[in-house]
A and B are shown apart, each in its own frame.
Chain A
Amino acid sequence: MILEWIRFIVGTIILCCGLLIFALEVFGVFRFDFVLNRMHAAAMGDTLGIGISLIGLIIFSGFNFTSLKMFLVVIFLWFASPVSSHLIGRLEVTTDEELENYCEIEDNCQP
């Protein structure tokens, strides 16, 4: 009984941390102006937020097949989300003609 309560409380705290990170992500996406900054905020939610939220859900559900599936979802998103952010960033660097106004560019930069 007391173990159940501990599990519930720990899971809730971790899930709330994940939701907080998602809230920060949404705030950042709407608050920043430049694409790469916004992309940074959005990518944070998709990796850290998803990871922490699903760890909370795994603690809720215990050690079974569902939690294994959630773990696989976390791994998949950790592969997919940074790569898509990288592609967005690369496209922005390739296509934006006024990039110098926003950030420093090294001389040997090859987009």
Chain B
Amino acid sequence: MKRKNNAFFRWFFGEEDTLIGKVEMKAQPEYEQKEGEIRELMEERAQLREQIYDVRDNTKLKLFHKMYNIAAVIFCITLISILLVNVSWLPHYGDGDNPVNNEVSARYIESGLQETGAVNIVTGMILDYRAFDTFGESNVLFIATVTVLILMRLDKEKKAPAKPGVEVYSKAEDDMTMTIAEAQANDRIYEPKNDAILQKVAGFLVPIIFIFGIYVVLNGHLSPGGGFSGGAIIGAGLILYLNAFGFEKTERFFTEKTYKWICFVALTFYCLAKSYSFFTGANHLESGIPLGTPGAIVSSGLILPLNICVGMVVACTMYAFYALFRKGGF
């Protein structure tokens, strides 16, 4: 096929950038204020403060303050009464005729236990009936971490001198980028350092927090809890450990590589397992996953491993957010 030689095709095949020379960023001249202007501004401000905010003599201002208070109270009372009237018009809690009591919730309540095997019906819903929704949520966490990584990450080594030919357009941008070594020298970023009280208490509390988080994750299908809450607890424990002992100790067991692999394995396992389950379910095949006895810890089919996956992703995301915002890498 002979290709047309117009601007679009040349741009499409990468031969020519049509925007070069037409749309370009230009560095703006630095904004400078003259000393006289600044003094004028300050005088103006002082005048304002003296004449207008002089509460003792300015009767108008006094009146305004009084009216302001009265109006604020009236506004608050009106808002509260509007909201209360609205609430009183809502349907009664637990009424049989409420719009939420439709065939969907009836189905969940009646046959949720037989179909999912989870005693906690909420977990049965979010990890069995609507498992792909939860999968999307876990992916949202992962993508959010990746975005923060793009924005906040610092260079591992000393930043390279600007290459010849590559111009640095603004000076401010050049100053903002900090290397790891500079960040380590900056005391505020690494505060507090080696606090004995914090270390003692963290050494006592962190294992308990981890055990509690693991308990919440593993009992997601039996009691309130599950991957999200348990993962948040484990992530909080990791952050406490990091605060007490510093990055050097946490990097012995949790680095960027660990994060990458945990998220990758957990999300892939979730996707494959639930795809298999949905595929067999949609085609009326036997999935071969035993549901077990409801109430036992190893029961309800895929819900327990999926809970573990979600918990790992959430814990890693919490820790990664903290490490990225504090140091720009982990």
Task: Answer yes or no: B201 CB below 8 A from chain A CBs.
Answer: yes
Contact B205 A87 (CB under 8 A): no
**Quick one: which of B239-298 are within 8 Å of A by CB?**
none
When distances are taken between beta carbons in the complex, the residues of chain A under 8 Å from B191 are 91, 94
A79 interfacial by beta-carbon distance below 8 Å: yes
- Bound complex: CA A91 to CA B192 (Å): 8
Judge if A31 is at the interface, Cβ distance under 8 Å.
no
- Beyond A86-B197, A87-B198, whether A79 also contacts B204 by CB under 8 A is yes
Chain B nearest CB from A47 CB (Å) reads 14
Given contacts A86-B197, A87-B198, contact A80 B205 (CB under 8 A): yes
Q: A9 within 8 Å of B by Cβ?
A: no
In the complex, the answer to whether A87 meets B201 with C-beta atoms within 8 Å is no
Q: Which of A79, A80, A83, A86 has the most CB of B within 10 A?
A: A83
Which of A83, A91, A94 touches B201 (beta carbons < 8 Å)? A83
B238 nearest CB across to chain A (Å) = 16
> Once the chains bind, are A79 and B192 in contact (CB under 8 Å)?
no
Provide the residues of chain A in CB contact with B192, threshold 8 Å: 87, 90-91, 94
Query: How does the 8 Å CB contact mask read for A61-77 relative to B, with 1 for contact and 0 for none?
Result: 00000000000000010
Q: Tell me if A90 and B204 are in contact (CB < 8 A).
A: no
CB of B205 within 8 A of CB of A90, answer no
Q: Which residues of A contact B195 (CB under 8 A)?
A: 86-87, 90
Complex Cα–Cα for A83 and B208 (A) = 16
- Binary interface encoding of chain A residues 1-24 relative to chain B, with 1 for a CB under 8 A from any of its CBs, else 0: 000000000000000000000000
Contact with A along B166-210 (1 / 0, CB 8 A): 000000000000000000000000011001011001001100100
> Would A79 and B205 count as touching, CB distance under 8 A?
yes
Q: What residues of chain B lie closer than 8 Å to A86, measured between beta carbons?
A: 195, 197-198
| Complexed CA–CA distance, A51 and B205 (Å) | 19
Q: Which residue of A lies closest to B240 (CB)?
A: A80
- When chains A and B are docked, how far (Å) is the Cα of A17 from the Cα of B197? 30
A79 contacts which chain B residues (CB < 8 A)?
Answer: 201, 204-205
- Minimal Cβ-Cβ distance residue in B for A83: B201
Chain A residues within an 8 Å CB radius of B204 = 79
Docked CA distance A80–B191 (Å):
18
List B contacts of A87 (CB < 8 A).
Answer: 192, 195, 198
Residues of A contacting B208 in the complex (Cβ-Cβ under 8 angstroms): 76
CA distance A87 to B204 in the complex (A): 17
> How far is it, in angstroms, between the C-alpha of A97 and the C-alpha of B208 when the chains are bound?
38
Query: B45 CB to closest chain A CB, in angstroms?
Result: 24
Q: Which residues of A are found within 8 Å of B197, using beta-carbon distances?
A: 83, 86
CB contacts (< 8 Å) of A91 on chain B: these are: 191-192
Cα distance A87–B195 in the bound complex, in angstroms: 8
Q: For A90, what are the chain B residues with a Cβ–Cβ distance below 8 Å?
A: 192, 195
* Alpha-carbon gap, A79 to B200, bound state (A): 10
- Could you tell me the distance between the alpha carbons of A2 and B288 in the complex, rounded to whole angstroms? 59
A and B contact pairs by CB, cutoff 8 A, 7 listed: A83-B197, A83-B198, A83-B201, A86-B195, A87-B195, A87-B198, A94-B191
B-contacting residues of A (Cβ < 8 Å)? Answer: 76, 79-80, 83, 86-87, 90-91, 94
Known: A90-B192, A91-B191. 14 other contacts (CB 8 A): A76-B205, A79-B201, A79-B204, A79-B205, A80-B201, A83-B197, A83-B198, A83-B201, A86-B195, A86-B197, A86-B198, A87-B198, A91-B192, A94-B191
What 3 A-B pairs are tightest by C-beta distance, nearest first? A83-B201, A79-B201, A86-B197
